[in-house]
Amino acid sequence: MTEAIFHTDAYAREFTATVTAVDGNAVVLDRTAFYPGGGGQPNDTGTLSFDGRQVSVTKVARRDGEIYHELDGDPATAGTEVTGVIDWEPRHALMRTHTALHILSGVIWRDFGAKVTGGNMTPLAARMDFEIEAMSADFAERVETLANAEIAAARPIEVSVLPRDEVMGIPDLIRTKINLLPSGIPEVRLVDIKGLDLQADGGTHVHDTSEVGRIRVVGHESKGRINKRLRIEITDA
């Protein structure tokens, strides 16, 4: 199984690895810093260099328990050592955006008791849906103020891994309308914005909330009687 560097060091931009399997133009590596996508966060892109060549990594995805890197060119053979480089600007933007969504969900859970019903992100822009009956421009403005106060607080963000049984005993951990934790996993990765938000999460995040920059709520809309959507953009502070 591939060592997921992105789970232990979200700031790793470059790494070396060995090709363990090849399928068409896709390769499996023994370790990777490329995030394969999931939880609303898109996969990373970048390059792999080997045998004096550099090829683009155009898509990364989990398949049959492995992480496949699709290449825009002929792949390396099994056993070849490669150097991977992440396209850092979009990755870091997604880290800021993903943390911003955790801040948003943390504030809305803490102050309004509303669960998340869906969400998605692109670099520096995102949407999140909540189980709320009514939403107004005043509500959106209040949420923006509360979220940016948490950014200004520079709350540290810690990642840990705990046994599934222990995690399921943590009150209010599952804040989505549907429990999205796969039933077969023995351990769960947690992302903890200290003092604000604790969630099971497999994505990449910044070191503390101040690194997000600033959250702007740019839209709100109804997606059903008790399902409302907020749209946000992330800007530099």
Please report, for the chain, the start and end positions of each structural domain, with discontinuous segments joined by +: 3-86, 91-235
0.85 exceeded by pTM: yes
Give the pLDDT confidence of 27-74 residue by residue, as tens digits: 999 999 999 999 899 999 999 999 999 999 999 999 988 999 999 999
- What is the predicted pLDDT for the residue at 207? 98
Task: Please give the span between the terminal C-alpha atoms of the chain, in angstroms, as a whole number.
Answer: 40
Q: Do domains 3-86 and 91-235 have the same CATH topology?
A: no
Residue in 232, 196, 219 with CA at minimum distance from that of residue 135: 219
The least confident of 101-105, 186-190, 212-216 is: 186-190
Phi–psi pair at 203, nearest 5 degrees: -90, -175
Q: What is the CATH number of domain 91-235?
A: 3.30.980.10
**Check whether domain 3-86 has CATH 2.40.50.100, yes or no:** no
Distance, in Å, from the CA atom of 63 to the CA atom of 210, rounded to the nearest integer, reads: 35
Give the pLDDT confidence of 136-187 residue by residue, as tens digits: 999 999 999 999 999 999 999 999 998 888 887 787 665 554 456 666 778 8
DSSP 38: B
